[in-house]
Amino acid sequence: MSQKKPVFQEVAGSLSTRIRRRELTPGMALPSENELCRQFSISRFSVRKALDILEADGLIFRQPGIGSFVCENPQQARAPKTLNIAITGSRGDFNPYIAEVFDGAQKICSGENARLVYCPTEEFITRNGGDMDGLILMTTRETPEDFRQLNAISGNGIPVVLINRFSDLPNLAYATVDYELESRRALELLFRMGRKRVGLIQTASLSPYANQTRAAGYREACRQAGRPELVCTVDCGGVSAISTLEDFLRKEQPDALFVTVQRLLDYVLLAGRTAGRGIGQDLAVMCFDKVDLSLPGQEEVMYIDMPLTEMAASAARFIIARRRGENVPMMRTLSNVRFVFSSNTL
């Protein structure tokens, strides 16, 4: 679903087109701010924001007290101003996905005179976007009210792109994978491999959204295949998790495990060893999050690899295009994942 652009971006796009088509020729004065207000039926505030975009793109120059004029050579005008794109994580954060998101966005920014700026969600909201030109949001614990405020900020012309989350709010863009669908596909893969009793390993203490959507995919796949649901919920942060998992393995005798988040994986591998189960042999393990296959004990774990670098690059392109007045549709991107086992992609 596309979303109507803010009016000042439409005005900037209209004037930009007229300049590039030489309908407004080099050196020509643009209509006054009052005249532009009348022509486009918009406020002086919106007119000035439109002129800011044209000036940033090097299409016009302003002379205080006199007016705005088309640059002598718009096609070779000075480089657009540097854009500041907020991102809600720094490259050194604990979240293993932040580095992928940062690298994908940075690759685009470095070639587009833009830069990434670490900015927590609450600061971005408090400042109503401040001097940022957009936000790439790796959501963590944002509330519905946070999203409503972000939707309002985006509607005022500072684009917000969610990474790995959906939103029905009209002004929020997103680049994501469908957790429920991909979890269902993962279970179908395990069933095709001949596994009949697949256990779900989840936690209530981490990533509620990820757990809920991935567990929903697990349950639907079991329902469709007529297989039993074997569910184990563990609490991260103590040896009790290993005992809980070991008891589950001995009681239910699953031949495969579907692990909803990577931080549960070490507990699963330890419990598997103490229960005498061979990972990758009599007990297949599929983790939704990326796994480091170079680490001992993880080399036989299958995992789901999400294209976060590509999604972040698309988010950066979208924000830059919107802020520079290009007529691009609302970004609503749904990507596929890869299923990885050792060095092989299935």
Q: Is the predicted pLDDT of residue 296 greater than 90, yes or no?
A: no
Question: Strand pairing partners for 258?
Answer: 200, 286
pLDDT number for residue 190: 96
Q: Residue 263 phi/psi, 5° resolution?
A: -70, -10
More confidently predicted of 44 and 237: 44
Task: For CATH 3.40.50.2300, list the domain ranges present in the chain.
Answer: 83-177+308-337, 179-305
| pLDDT, tens digit, 9 for 90 and up, residues 220-266 | 999 999 999 999 999 876 778 899 999 999 999 999 999 999 889 99
| pLDDT, tens digit, 9 for 90 and up, residues 87-112 | 986 555 556 688 899 999 999 999 88
- The third-level CATH classification (topology) of the domain covering 7-76 is Arc Repressor Mutant, subunit A (1.10.10)
pLDDT number for residue 93: 52
Q: Is the predicted pLDDT of residue 199 greater than 60, yes or no?
A: yes
Determine the longest span between alpha carbons in the chain, in angstroms. Answer: 83
Reported CATH class of domain 179-305: alpha beta
pLDDT number for residue 95: 63
Q: Residue 319 phi/psi, 5° resolution?
A: -60, -45
Q: Is the predicted pLDDT of residue 2 greater than 50, yes or no?
A: no
More confidently predicted of 18 and 204: 18
Average pLDDT (151-155) is 95
Task: For CATH 1.10.10.10, list the domain ranges present in the chain.
Answer: 7-76
Distance CA 52, CA 244 (A): 60
Q: Is the predicted pLDDT of residue 129 greater than 90, yes or no?
A: yes
Q: Is the predicted pLDDT of residue 1 greater than 50, yes or no?
A: no
Mean per-residue pLDDT over the chain, rounded: 89
Q: Is the predicted pLDDT of residue 74 greater than 60, yes or no?
A: no
Query: Which of 26, 16, 78 has the alpha carbon at shortest distance from 50?
Result: 16
pLDDT number for residue 168: 94
Distance of CA 338 to the CA centre of its chain: 17
Average pLDDT (74-92) is 70
Distance CA 253, CA 186 (A): 20
Distance CA 151, CA 315 (A): 16
pLDDT number for residue 4: 58
- In the chain, % of residues over pLDDT 90: 61
Q: Which of 153-162, 175-184, 318-327 has the lowest mean pLDDT?
A: 318-327
Q: Beta strand 83-87 with 134-138: parallel, antiparallel or unpaired?
A: parallel
- The third-level CATH classification (topology) of the domain covering 83-177+308-337 is Rossmann fold (3.40.50)
Most trustworthy range by pLDDT among 4-13, 84-93, 196-205, 212-221: 212-221
Q: Is the predicted pLDDT of residue 75 greater than 60, yes or no?
A: no
pLDDT number for residue 240: 86
Average pLDDT (268-289) is 92
Average pLDDT (181-207) is 93
- List the strands of the sheet with 172-176, edge to edge: 114-118, 83-87, 134-138, 160-163, 172-176, 332-334
